Structure 1
Amino acid sequence: MFYCSTLFAQDLPSIDQKTEGLDKKEGFMTYYWDESQGKVWLEVDTFDTEFLYVNSLTAGMGSNDIGLDRNQLGDDRIVYFDRRGDKVLLVQPNYSYRAITDNPKEKASVQDAFAQSVLWGFEVAAKEGNRILVDATDFLLRDAHGVVERLKQNEEGSYSVSGSRSALYPEGTMNFPKNTEFEATLTFTGSSPGGQVHSVTPTPDAITVRQHHSFVQLPDDDFEPRTFDPRAGYFGISYQDYSTPIGQPLTKRFITRHRLKKKNPDAPMSEAVEPIVYYLDPGTPEPVRGALLDGARWWNQAFEAAGYKNAFQVKMLPDSAHPMDVRYNMINWVHRSTRGWSYGTSVVDPRTGEIIKGHVLLGSLRVRQDYLIAEGLLSPYKGETSYDEDNPMLQMALARIRQLSAHEIGHTLGLAHNFASSVNDRASVMDYPAPKVSINADSTLNLSNAYDTNIGEWDKVTISYGYADTDNPTELKTILTNAIDEGLLFISDYDARPAGGAHPKAHLWDNGTNAVDQLDHIMDVRRIALKNFSVSNIPVGTPMAKLEDALVPIYLYHRYQLDGTAKLIGGLNYSYTLRGDEQPNPKPVADSIQRAALNAMLKTIQPDALQMPQKIIDLIPPRPLSYYNSRELFNSHTDPAFDPLGAAETAANMTIDLLLNTNRTARLIDYKARDNNRLGLSDLLGQLLDVTWQAPAQSGYRGAIQNTVNHLVLYHMMELASDREASSQVRAITNLKLEELRQWMKKEAEKQGLSEQREAALFYGYRMLQLFKDKGKVMEPSTPLPPPPGSPIGSGQPFLDCSLQPKNTYNDCS
């Protein structure tokens, strides 16, 4: 074998011979461009030397549902070249398992215990001294970003890279001293394209995008990792260190953050050795451009609080720069065919947690959705009304964009969501803010204070913990304990999500300190907006059917406050407590608050709250030619006619689904078992039935709404009673209540003088419950109409699968 390898090496041409006449590009990694063949030859002169490899998507598909956006970062990996005879392997070591020790044998034992990954194998084409030449073309033309897998997982078709329709892209290929950048045009051909592919691709069986590859020099060792503290509000890296002494934690955790040092460490306020600079996409139009710059620059307030002068800067990206160049922290303005998530991603050194590149993607349609919400609230188009710079809808939308810019940049600074900040007077831009709508004395609505205008107090705390020019653990701990003493709260994603969430102060899209009072306020705002809803909600010349577009976010205006209020029921007060920090122990929400929350939510399923004003029903015709239905509208049983009962079904279903969540109902049983005076599941179900099935029967339109809600209650109770994921006691109590309801229905149906509407509802319900009792089966009920996409307010919708996002993606579904 050695003899054969030696002969092979002797037969190889020199690099000069192989690259004669080619365009040589020197930089971090020297490469040669063969324009006639469309090839890139890469010169490798260092082996077993680690560097960072990043793939990304420069030109995307424009579909939020598919999730392949322009300028989207992909994976980042530490890799190195390993020469093995006539091959050069691109190896990714396993940094999840390490031995931080001076003993090389101990290090090797851990390295050999866990798998590495070889990402590619190159054949040696030329050699000169210690330098070798490889053809990198196939490596650069492969599907590094996982487009094929993304399309498959989204059931959008079966595709593969078409070599004849793919080529390197010299305009995006460049070299610098510390990074080498390559770009390629890739065409994916296939069959059975899905609806989203059809909607955004001119020829659905040929999808052409551009992928980018970055080879980046790793940072030097002059960066001190900062310990992760769950109270500090940071994302982090973690790994297992097998050299850890027995009795100490095996898993090491550090926060992710940019490198930042003071020029004068002894000064209370100092300029930075090298400031953090972000660049805005020059494709962003005005007035959005100015709003994004303003919101981004709020972060300098937090860095000033941490002792830095002008350490965070925002500029326009120079025309000569490439947005995927790792040297530029970017704020990208991204277009999609439907409104979608915005998110912040980062290129991170997995050895230390150092952020090398912050990268924000902002969906361009969310500003238009905020504008639509404002139109629905204000009914602004009286006659031939036109607006200039004082346009209140535009001002609200731009205020939201400023906050959004700060929010997503916060993720790329290393910060996690803080969904408890709204109870601290908007203490963090890392919350999801609902527009704060006030009611004037004349019962008109006011949006002048819809969104905040500065960085929050919690944001100053987090930046101080992550970026203060100190490595003293006591000083860092003091930053957090002072914040706790001041009453600043931090609760992040998992604990704030609404379905089965329990924290009473951490909600998405809410305002104020009291969720019950806020729900009452939101219902008042909704009532006023519906009362004022008219042709004035759309400009003159707009098809009348477009009124439904403005109506949807107003009729469902309370949907997010329902989420927050529901979490009081079976709620639990708690914090991210460490031993010795003297934070209070977990404690159930006060019973009086739980009962008040239940009463407030039950009001939202009453006919008074759900009925649509007749004047609105009379105004909305079927959609005209070219203005087709979309998922932004109400789902309907009456197409093409507008369906007010369907809208009521959608709204009521949101409330009932939240109340009868399996985790929430189990907590109610637990709390009741420990204190019989507390609200229990039996109490909740009893009150729910009191205001629905067992409430006095109403007639006409209100009676139809009542029956719609009654059927929803029955549907969800039977689902809960037969849910194998629910606890046995939840199922037992729910089954008991259903049997009591069945017996009540039988007696009620025997009464004289029932309307046909009421008799039909009772007969239908009784038949369903009788079958459920006799055969343990649920008679196939009508599935409740789902709401149109909503969260997050003014952006995005729930179709994005967060599991498909690249790692180091800190988005609005993380």
Structure 2
Amino acid sequence: MISLETTGTQALLTLPRAGIDVLALTMLTSGVGSSRINLDRGQPGQVRHWRFEPVGTRITLTELNTHFGSGTGRRDGAGSFARSMLAVLDPVASTDGTVTVDITALACRDLVEVRRWASFSSAGEPTVDPSRSLVDPGPSHTHEHGVEIESLLTFTGFSGDAISEVAPDPGAVTVRQRLSLTPLTDDPFPVLPFHPAAGGYGKMRTDTDTDPRRPPFAGVHPRFATREPIVFSVDPDIPQPYRDAVLEGGRWWATGFEAAGLPDTYRVEVRPRESDPAAVGTNAVWWVHRTGRGWSMGAALCDPRTGRIVKGNVRLGSQRVQQLTALGEALLCPYGHADEAARRQQIEQMTLARIRQLAAHEIGHALGLMHNYASHQHEHPSVMDYPFPALRVTPDGRVDLSSTYAQGLGPWDVFTVRYAYGDDTPEAKAAALQAERDAGRRYLTDHDGHSPDSCSPDAAPWIHGADPFEALERLLTVRAAALQTFGPGCLPPGRPTGEREDRFALLHLLHRHQCAALGHLIGGLHHEYALAGEDVPDPVPVPEEVQERAVQTLTGLLRPQIVRPHPGATACLTPTPIRYPRPAGAFGSAVGPGFDPDAATAAAATVVTDVLFQPQRLNRQAPAIGRVFRQAWEAAGGDPVTVDVVTRAALRAVHGGELHPSPRAELVQALESAPDAPAWLSAAVPDAARIPKGPDVVLPPGIPL
């Protein structure tokens, strides 16, 4: 239906004279390499619905508006919302049934939206330099699903340290962009309506149908067609043993398809080197290198009309291996010990277990599934959760990494595959969803898990265990044991000694995610996602005694014995050697190149105060705000650094403009009556400009893990 010819660096597209609709998929096949900018090799752009259409003697290319539509298929009012004309093309050749157009200029546009990503990351507002951008005929080709056009794009206008770290010349940043065009047909693929409690991504649009019984904002649940096997192809360049871990974890999903009555529907295998991972029709797992801590990503690229996934795409960040190894080294300090080999083996097994889980997680996204941040409460957690390693201390006082991550799918994962891919009737799907609710398997996802203002006590990423109080106590025991034995053995021979601070920071802030989980209890509201008419309980506030216990537990983490760095553990911390940068995971320092204990104290205190003085949380617990402040103040025990952190956190809440009048007044009163307060406080309460500037608090990155 369409074909591509490259002449030199021209891209000539032949299409039906009557016009054609296509899906346009875009992707970077070579990226920037910075976690801060997030423009990776393998990163997809938006999936667009394009229409080539003859108008007189010319061909117009229009992007159709997929934000609006009628769920019943009615066409009345179809021209109410704007479309976007992308190009007007002159034919360069034609036959009775076809026309050929030059789309070189189109293929050399910023279709992946590099400019938007860079601007969002404060890395400038780059634009394509046409004089240094061109179509590459080598990777460009026609295949059974459509055409692939690859371009070399050079951008000018990047700025900032993030781009300077990775680009040879920040003034000329060149990436590869793939444009895939796939003809659209009247797809008989059955649409699965989005249900907010069923675990799938909702590809949403405004429904223009005037039936008042229909929801004004509707969506579809993305899923693959199962007429052919769903095959994920793993990057052959993933080094061993991590490649086998990716294969093993990715294959866990076969269990879900078998339970859905679809055996032999799903496979994961190593990709042949000669195949094209960017092409439509290949569900690729990429191994991506970048600087700094960065996320792995899974994406389901869908037909916006039906939700049919046309390409699954997964990016696994290779630096995750180094991050997990660093955590294990901080916990076990293996090097130079008599049982070094056994300790290193534990670290590697922990890393491999996490890579298995990570592969399953990201492929789950590519299958159309969302996070479940309530699954730590299930009898077996979902692979779509963000797990924290299950750490424990043995009876003889040693940290044990022998069983850190769950293996295989959880029952929630099996349900989500059945719901999305099984051939159950709508009534059977509804019954299966209700059975999950009745079994107590809650599902809560991104905003409820990640957002600082979340009110859900059940959604919390990066924790282990159903009881947040018990989990914190267990983790503090692990932290104390690891700090007791921390020393030079945290680094392998040959590494710069300045990296010890990076390892120490992982231990000093080991409990940081449990703080966030406890914060969700304060002013929390148990709730579920549902549609009207379903049998779900009304929202229930967290009992006051549980909220009070959470406040007491959190303020207790401001005690000097918690926030002050362990003196024995910090004895081995040294300045960074010449030619090596200060580790990205280190604390800030106001004492020069060496370790700053006050900076570490401020960071540990900030982990707590960021939770306690979050404005929306304070509004939800208005009558208790004064008590929260006083408990935090008392727990600080007069330590000047911690007192300063508590004071500034409270003042930010007072002056931030987000508190309701009543909680603001109560917090002001608590500040004004604080005993032994800093001399500047009385002036700073009414006037934010009177808050003296202090050293910046640097929180070393703690995620992803």
| Shorter-chain TM-score range | over 0.9
What is the CA-CA distance between 1:551 and the residue it aligns to? 0.9
Measured in 2, the distance between the counterparts of 1:154 and 1:495 equals 24
Aligned length: 705
**Residue in 2 aligned with 1:713?**
646
Equivalent position of 2:132 in the other structure = 165
**Could you tell me which of 47, 62, 75 is aligned with 1:91?**
62
Report the identity percentage: 32
Pairing 1:384-463 to 2, within 5 Å after superposition: 387=341, 391-463=345-417
Instruction: Note if contact 2:15-2:98 (Cα within 8 Å) is conserved in structure 1.
Output: yes
1:332-731 equivalence runs, <5 A: 332-383=286-337, 387=341, 391-470=345-424, 472-497=425-450, 499-669=452-622, 672=623, 680-692=624-636, 695=637, 706-731=639-664
Judged with a 3 Å threshold, the aligned counterparts in structure 2 of structure 1 residues 609 and 73 are, in CA distance, closer, same or farther, namely same
Quick check: 2:372–2:382 contact (8 Å CA) kept in 1?
yes
* Distance in 2, Cα, partners of 1:338 & 1:119: 37
What is the deviation of 1:622?
A: 1.1
Indicate which of 43, 52, 55 corresponds to 1:72. 43
Q: Provide the residue aligned with 2:98 in structure 1.
A: 131
What TM-score, normalized to structure 1? 0.83
Could you say which residue in structure 2 is the equivalent of 1:31?
Answer: 4
Shift of 1:339: 2.4
Q: Which residue is equivalent to 1:782?
A: 694
Contact preservation (8 Å) 1:99, 1:110: no
> Relative to structure 1, is the Cα distance of residues 223 and 495 closer, same or farther in structure 2, using a 3 angstrom cutoff?
same
- CA 1:207–1:498 in structure 2 vs 1: closer, same or farther (change >3 Å)? closer
Measured at CA, do residues 251 and 539 of structure 1 come closer, stay the same or move farther in structure 2, by a change above 3 Å? closer
Q: Name the amino acid aligned to 2:651.
A: M
CA contact (8 A) 2:448 2:455 kept: yes
Higher radius of gyration, 1 or 2: 1
Structure 2: distance between partners of 1:242 and 1:712:
51
Distance 2:490 2:215 in 1: 60
1:309 to 263, 266, 285: 263
* 2:205 counterpart residue number: 239
The 10-residue stretch of structure 1 (582-591 or 706-715) with the greater mean CA deviation from structure 2: 582-591
Q: How far apart in 2 are the matches of 1:70 and 1:124?
A: 34
Q: CA deviation at 1:504?
A: 1.5
Does structure 1 retain, via aligned residues, the 8 Å contact 2:208–2:216?
Answer: yes
Cα pair distance change 1:451/1:247, threshold 3 Å: closer
Q: Deviation at 1:137?
A: 1.7
Cα distance in 2 between the residues matched to 1:250 and 1:540? 62
Unpaired stretches in structure 2, ≥5 consecutive residues: none
- One-letter identity of the residue aligned with 2:144: P
Distance 1:199 1:241 in 2: 46
What are the ranges of 5 or more consecutive residues in structure 1 without an aligned counterpart?
A: 1-27, 261-272, 673-679, 698-705, 746-761, 794-814
Q: d(CA) in 1 for partners of 2:631 and 2:124?
A: 49
After superposition, give the CA deviation of every residue in 1:69-96 in whole Å (9 maximum; x if it has no partner): 1121112111111112342111122232
Q: 1:734 to 1:783 in 2, by over 3 A?
A: farther
**Residue 756 of structure 1: aligned partner:** none
* Counterparts of 1:41 and 1:286, CA distance in 2: 42
Which residue in the other structure is 1:810 paired with? none
1:798 corresponds to: none
Aligned to 1:19: none
- Asked if 1 retains the 8 angstrom alpha-carbon contact of 2:292 and 2:584, the reply is no
Change (3 A) 1:194 1:767: closer
Task: Label 1:781 to 1:173 Cα distance change in 2 as closer, same or farther (>3 A).
Answer: same
| Corresponding position of 1:289 | 243
Specify the code of the residue in structure 2 equivalent to 1:691: A
Moved more, 420-429 or 289-298: 420-429
2:667 corresponds in structure 1 to: 734
Tell me what 1:147 maps to.
114
Native 8 Å contact 1:429 1:459 kept in 2? yes
Q: Note the C-alpha offset of 1:252.
A: 3.1
Distance of 1:257 and 1:487 partners within structure 2: 26
Q: Secondary structure at the match of 2:336?
A: coil
Scaled by the length of structure 2, what TM-score is found? 0.96
Instruction: Give distance in 2, aligned partners of 1:571 and 1:659.
Output: 13
- Equivalents in 2 of 1:589, 1:606: separation in Å? 26
Matches within 5 A, 1:211-250: 211-218=177-184, 220-250=186-216
Residue identity in the other structure for 1:39: Q
Matches of 1:486 and 1:152, distance apart in 2:
45
Q: Which amino acid aligns with 2:370?
A: A
2:230 to 247, 262, 276: 276
Return the match for 1:769 from 678, 682, 693. 682
| DSSP 3-state at the match of 1:687 | helix
Indicate the residue corresponding to 1:758 in structure 2: none
- 1:327 is matched with 281
Give the drift of 1:378: 0.8
1:318 aligns with 2:272: yes
Q: Mark the CA change 1:465 to 1:167 in structure 2 (over 3 Å): closer, same or farther.
A: same
Quote how far apart the aligned CAs of 1:198 are.
1.4
Indicate if the aligned counterparts of 2:598 and 2:641 stay in contact, CA closer than 8 A: yes
Write the distance in 2 (CA, Å) between the matches of 1:444 and 1:588. Answer: 39
Task: Give the superposed CA RMSD.
Answer: 2.1
* Change in 2 beyond 3 A, CA 1:240/1:157: closer
Shift of 1:195: 1.5
SS at the partner of 2:397? coil
1:339 touches 1:364 (CA, 8 Å); kept in 2? Answer: no
Contact 1:383 1:540 in 2 (8 A): no
1:190-217 deviations in whole A, cap 9, x for unaligned? 5x74222211111222211111111112
Alpha-carbon deviations, 1:397-454, whole Å to 9, x = none? 1111100000111111111110000011343011100011011110111111101111
Deviation at 1:626, TM superposition (A): 1.7
Letter in 1 for 2:110: D
